[in-house]
Structure 1
Amino acid sequence: MKVLIVDDEPIVRKVLKTMIRWEEYGLQWGGEACDGLEAWELLQQESMDLVVTDILMPRLDGLELVKRLRQAKTDAAVVVLSCLDDFSYVKEAMKQGAHDYILKPTMEPEQLADILVEAKEALLKQRMEKEQREQLHRQLQLSNQAQWGMRLQKCWISGYRDEDLEQDWFQEGRILSSCMIQFTMDSHLSLLGWQWPGAFAYVSLSEQRTLLVYEDIGTSRSVEVEQTLTVQFGLGQESFCLTEVRGIHRADQLYNLVQEHELVRHRLFYDRKASDLAYYGSIDTKDLKERNGILPLEERQNLLKAISGQNEEAMNYWAKQVTVQLEQNQPSVDITYNFIYELLGLAAAFARQQVDVELEHYERQFVSSAAVQAHLSIASLAEWFLEAVSELAGIFQSNAQLTSRNPFVRKAMSFMRQQYHLQISTSDIADHVKLSRSYLSDLYSKETGESLIETLTSIRIQEAKRLLRHREQKVYEVAEAVGFVDPKTFTKTFKKIVGCSPKEYEEQNK
């Protein structure tokens, strides 16, 4: 078990680190911090099992650190170090959940080690009891919500009705409602095994989709489901799409729930202003099937031609036309995702035929199902797709002069692309390539027609344009992000290359 020592006296930290034979006690030195704030920041990055903390420290004291640990629901056991005159603080720390305390003036390393062993054993017991409770919880859940959910799912798969289920759920004219949660692939959260209070059943359709069935009480259930996801699981609203179907009073509606939720999801994807509330039959299934056959194939072909010709203006134009057609024709969400994913894969393949550069970073960022499906509306997906095409155009632009097959030139270019955000110089580039600065500069200029600094500046300005289009950072933050120390120098350089100031560029690309 890992132990963190928190004390503002360096000598105390040094004594504890060196005088206790940690391994003999089944413990491991996990690190040290000079006050509660440094300890809290360290605990955000790395979990600890045991925390030994002084009470009175600058910036953040030990009592506040204990409070934060409990508010964060961490199970780390805390042992408090105290002096004789701050026992009132110790009592408060014990109320907040500290395991034990020890007086610093009389403390011996072995004494502290014994207390830590006791705390370790108590923590292990606590964790074992928690696991047993969770296991019992899962077992109870399987006998209720999950069993009903499995019976409903069996009906969907087999095509046969479950009359007992129908009789139980629709007794005395009961009306049902249903919520479906569609997670993005990068949310890294599975709700398999979770119990939803008030639900008749839940069905885990996949790791990304969970369907819940409730009694329709006349108001939306989506509010409480959303609260569970955002408050209890800490998910942002960009990590999931929540749909609701109400007014379910017939068995045939129950057996078509998944299709109905997909139709509601379709509506929300293309119109985020639409209400989450949906009633059965709100969207024409036949109309949706017809839409699926209308894809921007001609626009896709023209975009790929523009990529083959390295025509930046045409690339941006046809990329925009692709998104316009998708918004107008509104094919199903999954078909739209697949279309964009496949198109970006083709775009990268066409680009690789035109420029002799590594596109691995670009493909990791854009050519993945998770990246595409992270966008829960057509507006967000369209903006991101245009950014992907613009990024590809930027790669063409930065490689326009790069016709050399010389490995040193290629290595210099690759280094600048990877390190442009740092304060690198021509000497740093030469050191990386392992040539003298003067020799590399001459070689690079002869092979590409421009200097190392000109290429580095071009890369930085291209990235700055992307960040400004994204509109998430201020101009001075963009300048720093792309390797400029002085915002004024950045603005002057940007205007010289682009023809307008960063602020004007940002306004033009709203």
Structure 2
Amino acid sequence: MYEVVLVDDDVIVTQFLKRYIPWEEHGFKVVASFQDSHSALEYLLENTYDVLVTDIGMPKLNGIELIEQLKKSKSNSYHIILSCHDEFRYAQQAFKLEVFDYILKETMEETNIIALLGRLKEKLDQEQFTRNQHLKVTKFLERNNMTLKSKFIEKLMKEQNITKDGWWKEQEELLKLNFSDKYFTPILCFIDRYQEAINHYENETSLQFSINNLLEEIFTAKDQQDVQIFFTQGKFLILLPMKYNTREKTKHQIEAILKELHETIYAGFEVSITSVIGELNVKEQSLLESMRILLKNKEQRFYYKYNSIQNFYPISYTRDSIFQDYVEISQTIKELILKDKKDQILECISQQLKQIREKKYSPDSIKDWAIKLIIDIKLSLHALNHFERQSVVITIADQVIQYVETFEHLEYVLADICEKFLEQIRSTNLTTRNEDILKAQKFVQTHIGAKISLKDVAAHLHLNSSYFSRMYKKETGEGFVEYVTKTKMTKAIELLEHSTKSIEQIAFELGFENKSYFSKTFKKYFGMTPGDYKYKTKEKMN
């Protein structure tokens, strides 16, 4: 609906126009009417409108003067004059102001006004269509420019020997870039919780376009027209031109600008960003090198807190194995899950991640550690009767963790997955008989280092040994002793793969009387000795 404002000092005229003209049937809506032209002017200057219908002869401020005042500030609205005067001088003044039409009140009939509205709507519709088309073209060009800039920066980062001639100059002209005579500071900004942000904005392009527009508005308001912004997946690179100054002053200026960017982006989109400042005040080849270093070390953001501003320095990752204490940690978490100790689970995860952070392991090795932890816990729980048949099963842990961006994000994801394991165990509907089996299996899982006999477990459950043995076989399809052996052998594999313990130490840790009996059981189960298995594992790793 196009919005109409009526102004006439004769209330009968405005009432006639409002009541007897079917505005809405023809795409218009009367949003305000005035008898006082000064009040009308005040309203019209403060509000948007599409059409003004005004009397020409009014006290204090006549219709011609009213339109003159409005023309000074608003030129895209249409004006229609109602007049009792058919003198040429009034019509001449009106058409000098480019009014849409000049209607004599003596000929003001419903059919004439409806015909006028038809012509006016056709004009307004055409203008709106043209504006929409122009907006589409503008948006297309802006988005295309973003894509071209992304490809430009990707090529610069990949090809080390690009010189400033030919292709480079052509791209600078095409994208309106100029790196030659200015000092820039490169800043790499990560969009926090990127997958969630994309889901909210439906696709990556819409999210990038929205952020880009906001950044351009901010920098235009600061009169920083030469700022360059390049988007790549999940992040964007800002080249911020700064007047050459002392290092400390430049640093403080950039941090102040970034703080404002962080706050404005969050206020506008509820999306936080993490910013990493590269080398200060560099140009040409030094600028390229600084940009390459930032992008080459992008995985370091795993060590940055969300919504933080960082000064770049390279992290030297340890080459030590992240799996040194893995077996003990995974066993502790498994036991805590079986005992439903949520707070202790969260504390254990938090402490372990803190130690990993302090030792500076690479992000990829940390993700491998987390994926293995979840898969191993899942496999151990699946060894419990009926666990695997439940509806809630964690099947995409590796996919979820691959998208993890920071330590705090990883801690949240691990805690969430463990909570799902707890819920799954709590919601398991078991009969009294199956409950005894579950208790027996939990006993084995939490006493893996002890010598476990059928008699001891039956006594723990207050059941007759023979009855418990028959019940277990009937319900699970395997003997209880077989289950104990399977569980201990699974644990033996973990220890052989992820610990430096000797075979003798592993044997005693799993409750075997001696190394010989452990080796004999292992070979019977896997077809090779523990020593052969350990040797083959090392060969695969090498």
Structure 2 length normalisation: TM-score?
0.44
Structure 1 length normalisation: TM-score?
0.46
